Chain A
């Protein structure tokens, strides 16, 4: 076990998989010579050479589509998007081609591609660079979406994604890249579709993913210290597939649920989860389900206001107290 950053954990996952399978290639803008826009792929070119670590032009529809085509023939491309926001210029490839081809071919073709990169607000870069498309993409059958919140999960989910035979979209978070934690040196995966209880509690269930998990854990601290409330934090880790049973088991234990995410409110991931809870655990609920999302506006540039636009611990505490009232 070593203490490494979320960034290093992602890199370790890619390095191990590059070594394990010669079909794995890393591709994207600035991933090779420049060592990665966010240094996630730093050193990989030196270690694996230009056949495996490939710089692309600024051409998301072109190179993501190329990766999808190559994956149809058994290459296992791990494509970096500098920001998931840029997937929007490649949306046809990401959804129509990667997401549909297995289905439309009646199962004759599969598409073992990984597309990864940061999908988060909170970095003071304005609306075009701050999208969080996990709900949009997870609404397409054929696509898998994971959102690691910790270094351990980042490595394990990335390795699982690379070995997966379906398209897996890994949504990272630039604000988490420097977070450090203990990560095993040995080979392990975090199976896709398994949620993780990041904190056990008895009075309230918070369901979150990505950085909202970290925010929720901070809020849970405050709720315990200042309000004597025991909060359970369920980290989804994977959006599609979704670990419904872990969510339901937690709600059946605490009887109250608060959903926290960095998406905008309309049709976020929480909409799906709220539906799940009311349909399968309605009688277990002692209060209406609460939620905290980003304030419903394009991402604001102003740093001070952006920090208020995203969920932050005090806002989560306030919403939790309402559900607990």
Chain B
């Protein structure tokens, strides 16, 4: 196998984790105490929700795939914390965090995992297909890289309407090798679309390390240069850095209507999905190292304790509340009804679900 260039990590990742040099970045310095506590609380909620999901999965209540974001929380939390009214997001199948962070409830999220009618997608989407268009969240997509053109289209629509907005289009380090992603890059750059491609680089696509999947000139974001697009690399263990660098890209989108690729280095603690025994492609020591020295939730907690924003008591009560909320979501999911047989053929066509004087088609559209 050809040898790749040495990976260009963000500067901050080359040193042991310490106080963030980005804490004083204007976008972070402007955060009030309450804002910071709220951001920490959100990250803790994501963590506890997913840890509760593991239990529900082990109880056999979640079918299919369950891809966890544990270890990666600062990526979604940092980026989403900056978004406004005309900013949209779309992602792949590792989509729970993004959902909770745009404001979906743990209840609808948990119920979707267990296939209940009270789930965000009424039990029709599952873990990989969360949606909340009322919160500018367009999914939740199961085909690796398939969401990249859609995100480009959302950005196109924002620009068409003359809105000062953007679309954050998330994908993994494996997804960037899909043709559709390159086509999206080209269109975004060619048409000056207000989009940020966020590569959540956790080092692996399933069991394949970046080294074994990708030819690159030092990092994945640098492919942007081939499209004359701006790019940056980001330490995804530091939510302050994520916010600082995302803010620059967001400004580029809002003010210049230009795209950016942000490669955010992060790490997942659990297997690719719950069905991955996680034994063949990485060392336990590697996972341990990240957990002990780079955990994004813990690092932010420590920063806020040092800043005097959080206290030990507050940390405890925030985490206890998040756990309680996750437990309540699990109970809600348990107690919720399944969709009925009649529900199977609903929500296929807008027109069938909205029959009225304005609908014009007829004929058989659902067949026996």
Contact = CB atoms under 8 A, between A and B. Distances in A.
| A and B from one complex | yes
A112 B133 CA distance: 15
B348 A142 contact: yes
Interface stretch (A59-67, A120-128, A313-321): A59-67
Nearest to B132: A108
A93 B184 CA distance: 12
Interface in A245-284: 272
Given A109-B131, A193-B363, A241-B363, A62 B186 contact: yes
Interface string A149-184: 000000000001001111000000000000000000
B362 A194 contact: yes
Interface stretch (A39-47, A68-76, A215-223, A299-307): A68-76
A236 B119 CA distance: 39
Interface stretch (B19-27, B150-158, B232-240, B311-319): B150-158
Contacts of A242: 363-365, 367
Contacts of B248: none
A81 B180 CA distance: 17
B360 A191 contact: yes
B366 interface: yes
Given A61-B183, A104-B121, A166 B350 contact: yes
Interface string B114-133: 00000111111100010111
A51 B160 contact: yes
Contacts of B143: 92, 96
Interface string B128-145: 010111100011111100
B291 to A, nearest CB: 33
Nearest to A99: B348
B149 to A, nearest CB: 2
A129 interface: no
A69 B156 contact: yes
Interface in B173-191: 179-180, 183-184, 186-187, 190
B159 to A, nearest CB: 10
Given A66-B149, A104-B139, A106-B125, A92 B180 contact: yes
A195 B364 CA distance: 11
B146 interface: yes
B205 to A, nearest CB: 17
Given A65-B180, A106-B125, A272-B367, A164 B351 contact: yes
Contact of B125 (A71, A104, A144): A104
Contacts of A112: 350
A37 interface: no
Contacts of B61: none
A67 B140 CA distance: 18
A5 interface: no
A160 to B, nearest CB: 6
Contacts of B125: 104-106
Interface centre among B134, B149, B179, B180 (most CB of A within 10 A): B149
Given A57-B186, A57-B187, A93-B180, A105 B361 contact: no
B365 A241 contact: yes
A189 interface: yes
Contacts of B362: 191, 193-194, 241, 243
Contacts of B160: 25, 51, 70, 75
Interface residues of B, number: 57
A109 B138 contact: yes
A279 to B, nearest CB: 8
Given A69-B153, A166-B349, A62 B184 contact: yes
Given A61-B183, A192-B361, A72 B153 contact: yes
B361 A193 contact: yes
A297 B307 CA distance: 73
A103 B187 contact: no
A135 B149 CA distance: 25
B149 A68 contact: yes
A101 interface: yes
Contacts of A116: none
A272 B160 CA distance: 41
Nearest to A110: B350
A165 B153 contact: no
Contacts of A93: 146, 149-150, 180
B334 to A, nearest CB: 20
Contacts of A192: 360-361, 363
Nearest to A61: B180
Contacts of B101: none
A15 B158 CA distance: 24
Contact of A69 (B152, B186, B361): B152
Nearest to B184: A62
Given A107-B346, A141-B366, A97 B157 contact: no
Interface centre among A62, A72, A141, A272 (most CB of B within 10 A): A62
Interface in B326-368: 346-351, 353-354, 360-367
Nearest to A96: B143
22 contacts: A51-B160, A57-B190, A59-B187, A62-B152, A62-B187, A65-B148, A66-B152, A68-B153, A69-B153, A74-B157, A93-B150, A97-B150, A101-B131, A104-B125, A105-B133, A106-B119, A106-B347, A109-B139, A110-B350, A164-B351, A194-B362, A195-B363
Interface of A: 25, 51, 56-57, 59, 61-75, 92-93, 96-97, 101-110, 112, 141-142, 144, 160, 163-166, 189, 191-195, 238, 240-244, 272
